[in-house]
Amino acid sequence: MARKRGLEGKVVVSFVVCADGVAQDITITESSGFEILDRSAVEAVRKASPFPKPPVKAALIIPVVYKLN
């Protein structure tokens, strides 16, 4: 749907990777301005979990960029 509408943008997502590798407290730090892209970025982090187990609990802030080619 986002592709059909020609939506592009950057979503900044923050989350915590717990000692077991599971992502928790996933939040939008900076919205793309498009709810569909924001929801997709959160879902991408959720689906990527579990991550490799960090030596200690880690807080991450990552940009998720949506760009049509």
Burial class (CB in 10 A: 0-12, 13-18, 19+), 40: middle
* Tens digit of each residue's pLDDT (9 = 90 or more) over 25-57: 999 999 999 999 999 999 999 999 999 999 999
Amino acid, res. 68: L
pTM score, whole prediction: 0.85
> Which percentage of the chain shows pLDDT scores above 70?
96
Domain boundaries, the chain: 2-66
